[in-house]
Chains A and B, each alone.
Chain A
Amino acid sequence: MKHEIIIAGFGGQGVLSMGKILAYSGLMEDKEVTWMPAYGPEQRGGTANVTVIVSDSRISSPVLSKYDVAIVLNQPSLDKFQPRVKPGGILIYDGNGIASPPTRTDIKVYRMDAMDKAAEMRNAKVFNMIVLGGLLKVCPVVSTEGLNMALFKTLPERYHNLIPLNMEAVEQGKQIIVEQ
């Protein structure tokens, strides 16, 4: 089993971190993983994207042009990566600020209002984990336990008290994702 995933959005939105948590979760489950950022001079406000591949077997190219799953978190990312989802693949988008929603009918399109949910939870920082929760609901790339272990492994111990909040965000994400 191999999942080729692109996560794209604004710089500073946590796109790279989201990819890292996903890659670490794959590592926890003894899978092959690659994490390849489209790095550039852009910082907050610009666009950022990262390709994450999680696989049971050897991974060839860390850089791809077609994806099984695209997670797009703003309009420019949606416009750029919608055509690059493989037929039968998955597109997940956050509804916030989207004027032209996805139009493809040969892929599964899911909407999740993760930004609104994060605001409701009064913590903008759990946005990433809400999105990852949505992903795991519709495409179990890794298990929720793997994700939990990855947080324990990668967060410094002084932040471990925040893990339950993050896992709660994952659960919220699973609930708010809706097929379009």
Chain B
Amino acid sequence: MAMKISDEKFFERVDKGVNNTFMRNAVVSAQERMQGKRLAAAEELGNWEEWRKLGEEIRTHTLQNLDYYLEQLSENVKKRGGHVFFASTKEEANEYITKVAKEKQAKKVVKSKSMVTEEIHLNSALEKAGCEVIETDLGEYILQLDDHDPPSHIVVPALHKNKEQIRDTFKEKRGYDKSEIPEELALFAREQLRQEFLSADLGITGCNFAVAESGSISLVTNEGNAGLVTALPKTQITVMGMERIVPTWEELDILVSLLCRSSVGQKLTSYITGLTGPKDEDDVDGPEEFHLVIVDNGRSNILGTEFQSALHCIRCAACVNVCPVYRHIGGHSYGSIYAGPIGAVLTPLLGGYEDYKELPYASSLCAACTDACPVKIPLHELLIKHRRKIVEDEKKSPFGEKLAMKGYQLAASSPSIYKAGTKSASSVMAPFTQSNSIQKGPGPMKPWTDVRDFPAPNKERFRDWYKKREKGGE
């Protein structure tokens, strides 16, 4: 699965999202619960703003000196006997990883959850090379079994599915014969996947944060699958986006603390695993061979631009969990594995405006995302910067907006046209109006009214009302 998850147009995707009642209810309840947990976890510290400030300082410094810290990281991995591959493109990354898989004659690959491997389309590259690839995060496993349904949330990928659907998928694909009780479903997945862990040739992980000073990588999970992926197979490959790095273990503490509290409201998740190189010579478990693949894939083009702070993201999804637009349209509408406010900022940067020019408009600019971000990325400001670029530099503003602006330009340039327009607005819109709101608007209004009502133009113009009022009327 690449970053792009749909060939449908933005509004077609939104239509599907808005009409999926289960998904919408699931998202609403997920947002409320996760937001509540995050706020409680932040409040409990008493000085959350200080933590955010420190997080921002660390991310800013690290990105400003990224070349230095990546060099230090790679030197230290090398000293511990690990291999490092710097991949400028997704093709280079996939080529290297499949080459290692072939050298190791790997047939079975187990993976722990990783957004960057989805972004580079790694699974299909490995499958083409003849490997069986098994996702082991419970949510990802469900999606993979269900014919590779795309994830709809960074932290809870199968959020859009209900337990009955999951039961049916297990039944159809794996002969499951028990109920839809979540514990039973999870136990079944545990048993199915345990055998896969024990017989896999290759383990692949993402990386929450690498630690430059020691050449370590860290993995943050609740299920314990990352521990199994890295303890049992003989070869481990870790794929990291090049910005996912901290200088020392001291900063790892801060960013892991911010991540756990902001994503799931936990002080720490059940498993935080710090791994350094392959296993030591006399160790029994752990990989004999370790490869770290550091991926650029468009990230360096963001460095040195007004969008650099987007690379500070630690993938906690706090912004997703507070976003009123995400709440209504759901993750799949973004057409990218990166959904929500950060997705609307990052996806056009990595995938280009041609495919993703609508995303910066999928925001009400309410700034809840900016307030929620644990490393203080000014998300709503970055969305405005995108809009400015789309309109001014790329001349790609959405058609409806262009038409409206053209119309306004014409109308505002002539007092008589403007007057005629405002006078006729109410009657022109009358066929679309029901009890003072427009629910199915024509033309450029359609995308708006498909998802919410638009207030109908008042029968009385403001100017007329004002004149009357001056004369002593109501």
A and B associate in one complex: no
Query: Which residues of A are in contact with B by a Cβ distance under 8 Å?
Result: none
Query: Which residues of B are in contact with A by a Cβ distance under 8 Å?
Result: none
